[in-house]
Amino acid sequence: MSKYIIVGGVAGGATAAARLRRLDETAEIILFERGEDISFANCGLPYYVGDVIAERGDLLLQTPEKFRGMYNVDVRVCSEVTRVNTENRTVEVRSVAGVYTESYDALLLSPGAKPLRPPIPGINHPRIATLRSVQDADRIRSLVGTGGSVVVVGGGFIGVELAENLRERGLSVTLVEAMPHILPIFDTDMISLLEVELRRHGVELALGDGVAGFEEQEDGGICVRLSSGRTVHGDFVALAIGVRPDTAFLDGSGIALGERGHILVNEYMQTNIPHVYAVGDAVLTRSAQTGKATALPLAGPANRQARLAADRMAGEVRAYRGVVGTAALKVFGLTAAATGQNERALQSAGMVYGKDYRFTVIFPRHHVAYYPGAKELALKLIFRLSDGVVLGAQAIGAEGVDKRIDVLASAIGRSLTVADLEEFELSYAPPYSAAKDPVNMAGYAAENILLGRSIPLLPHELSAELAAGARLIDVRPPEEYHAGEIAGAQRIPLPRLRERLHEFDPQVPIVVCCKMGLRGYLAEQILRAHGLTVKNLVGGYTYMKMQHEERN
């Protein structure tokens, strides 16, 4: 009979324990969890803080008692593994009953990650909270009842979700982010949509300004001093500036760690020590696209890693394919989702826009326009120029965002091309999509660029193009002019373009622009067929306006 020890619950540890039991009914399985809960919905914590999830018990996916009864697992909560001896195959455990050791045949580590608390002056003030556990959420809920304002530090997923939920509870919210923009998984050209949405709902943004210190005020609140010298005030502070792997207990174990403390594993989730496995937020896994080491603290990958590790521990062999990096979040009335690599990641890897990759931005409705309630979404598709392989995608909108990104995540995970997207047969009915789904449309637009049918021009490239003598033609119809003027453009509505071809000088290059890019593409084909040199402004006026909002 095999004896398995699992360190840590939640997505990784609890999933592995359940899978091991399904594969091996006779094994002894012990799960150690430092906290009170072995399996809780940590992704739901911001919504419990915001009272969207009203009942605390709804967050508890499994109680220790239920888990024992269902899986016959020896669950030991409030039991912290403080040391691992890989030579003797034992772990040292500290519990309310004292310190003891437990032996194992195979060990799975799922310690997770803990919130960063850098050595900033005043950071240990009792009214500065982090969010990792249900108990942390309880504490923030209690702080909500003591004041009307909060400073959220950190513009990642947790910070933005906390800002939204605390604002929905009626608090005055200031969101502080040291980087120029929130949510680095999105490119800066897309993120303006979410920053505008936050401001529209009353969240004050302090971007590009880190925290220099925290000081208590006479009224008991917190003054947050920023690097710029500016100060912001809140009755309490929610700290969400990132996480680091909770692996200090592995010091001296011989288990190999990365520079930042992540556990190093192979494609079978094995560490460098025989019979020791690791999964979840504490591991350094690999990118499914590049094969390079990466850390991705998300629940989905943790669950899949745990299942594969359990399979390997029980004698079945299946390799982990790596992470694509797919995530979504709600920001008031919008949903935002991303998958694969963004431009920042590509450029960090040495790839150059226009030489190695390009992208297209389209603004389709999430279902057919004639069916009531059709909502526009912004969809950015990044692809490799050498072969058309899809590298990344981002989408933001009120409806239909997660569906498209999930499809594109599947495409990226299989190294499919923009031509493959054109052929995807996706479900269609008027309330749900269109016969040409936004995924198909993104494929069409990208392949037009890839094959040279369309020559794209980005908004930030326009001024140089005009300075070099290009002529800018706005082909929008008159009823769309109210949306905003395109500086320097001559207005020729698309239906009148053919009758005015005599006005064009073949020696003068043309840039065409419309509302969203499609009519610009049609104008591009008309003009090119008549011997003119033409470029189409990517995403039209809508995308250009997004860039203006990003700068402001």
**CB contact at 8 A, 436 and 518:** no
Alpha-carbon distances of 484 from 48, 57, 473, 543, rounded to whole Å: 41, 50, 14, 12
Query: Residue 323 carries which side chain, given as an amino acid letter?
Result: V
How many Cβ atoms are within 10 Å of 267's Cβ, its own excluded?
A: 14
Confidence (pLDDT) at 547: 84
Residue 69 CB: number of other CB atoms within 10 A? Answer: 11
Which listed residue (43, 78, 223, 513) is catalytic? 43
**Stretch 286-309: mean pLDDT, rounded?**
92
Please indicate, yes or no, if residue 494 is contained in any of the structural domains. Answer: yes
Percent of the chain with pLDDT over 70: 99
Residue 551 has pLDDT above 70, yes or no: no
- The SS3 assignment for 392 reads strand
Q: Would residue 324 count as lying in a domain? A: no
The last residue of one of the domains, among 450, 473, 493, is: 450
Q: Who's near 370: CB < 8 A, 6+ residues apart?
A: 430
What is the C-alpha R_g of the chain? Answer: 27
Question: What is the predicted pLDDT for the residue at 549?
Answer: 64
CA–CA distance, 434 with 420 (Å, rounded to integer): 18
Q: What's the rounded Cα separation, in Å, for the pair 265 and 279?
A: 8
**Three-state DSSP class for residue 486:** coil
**Same-domain check for residues 352 and 418:** yes
- Same domain membership, residue 201 and residue 299: no
Q: Does some domain include residue 530?
A: yes
Q: Which regions of 236-376 does DSSP assign to beta strands (E)?
A: 236-239, 243-245, 263-264, 276-278, 283-286, 293-294, 327-331, 334-340, 357-362
What is the average pLDDT value for the chain, to the nearest integer?
A: 95
Q: 39 or 270: whose pLDDT is higher?
A: 270
**Residue 550: pLDDT over 90:** no
Is the domain of 89 the same as that of 188? no
Is residue 472 scored above 90 in pLDDT? Answer: yes
Indicate if the pLDDT at residue 199 is higher than 60.
yes
- Are 368 and 385 in a shared domain? yes
Q: Show the CA angle centred on residue 360, arms to residues 444 and 379, nearest 5°.
A: 90
In a domain, 30, yes or no: yes
- Residue finishing a domain among 427, 450, 473: 450
Q: What is the pLDDT of residue 190?
A: 97
Closest to 494 (Cα-Cα) out of 478, 472, 507, 510:
478
User: How many Å apart are CA 454 and CA 3, to the nearest integer?
Assistant: 62
Q: Are residues 73 and 217 in the same domain?
A: no
The answer, as to whether pTM is greater than 0.85, is yes
Judge if 208 and 292 occupy the same domain: no
DSSP character for 455?
Answer: -
pLDDT digits (tens, 9 = 90+) for 202-223: 999 999 999 999 999 988 899 9
pLDDT at 10: 87
Q: Which residue from 234, 255, 236, 235 is spatially nearest to 245, judged by alpha carbons?
A: 255
The DSSP element (H or E) to which 94 belongs, if any, is strand 90-95
What's the CA gap between 204 and 299, in Å, rounded?
29
344 in any annotated domain: yes
Residue type, 539: G
Q: Count Cα neighbours of 287 within 13 Å in the Cβ-side half-sphere.
A: 17
The model's confidence at residue 39, banded by pLDDT at 50, 70 and 90, is confident
Q: Are residues 374 and 446 in the same domain?
A: yes
Mean pLDDT of 28-49: 93
Residue 322 lies in a domain: no
Q: Does 361 score more than 90 pLDDT?
A: yes
446 and 340 housed in the same domain: yes
Do 364 and 273 share a structural domain? no
Taking a C-beta distance cutoff of 8 angstroms, is the pair 443, 419 a contact? yes
What's the rounded Cα separation, in Å, for the pair 541 and 473?
12
- Final residue belonging to a domain, choices 450, 471, 487: 450
Identify the pLDDT of residue 483: 87
* Total count of domains within the chain: 4
Assigned domain for 93 exists: yes
Q: Quote the CA–CA distance of 313 and 428 in Å, as a whole number.
A: 43
Shared-domain flag, residues 338 and 445: yes
Whole-Å CA distances, 30 to 24, 85, 359, 541? 14, 17, 49, 60
Helix crossing, 188-200 with 157-168: angle to 10°? 20
User: From CA 293, how far away is CA 486, in angstroms rounded?
Assistant: 44
Of 417-421, 425-429, 515-519, 544-548, give the lowest mean pLDDT range: 544-548
> DSSP letter at 187?
-
Catalytic, 43? Answer yes
Cβ atoms of 323 and 300 within 8 Å: the answer is no
Q: In terms of domains, do 168 and 228 share one?
A: yes
Query: Looking at residue 445, which CATH number applies to its domain?
Result: 3.50.50.60
Q: How far apart are CA 356 and CA 50, in angstroms?
A: 44
| Within a domain: 385 | yes
What does the pLDDT read at residue 486?
87
pLDDT in tens, 504-530: 999 999 999 999 999 999 999 999 999
Return d(Cα 245, Cα 458) in angstroms, integer.
Answer: 39
The domain of 236 spans 128-241
Same domain, 108 and 79: yes
Task: Report which DSSP code applies to 249.
Answer: G
CATH number of the domain to which 506 belongs? 3.40.250.10
What pLDDT score was predicted for residue 60? 87
At residue 357, does pLDDT exceed 90? yes
Q: What is the pLDDT of residues 104-153, one digit of tens each?
A: 999 999 999 999 999 999 999 999 999 999 999 999 999 998 779 999 99
Conformation bin of residue 362: beta by default, left when phi > 0, alpha when psi is -120 to 50: beta
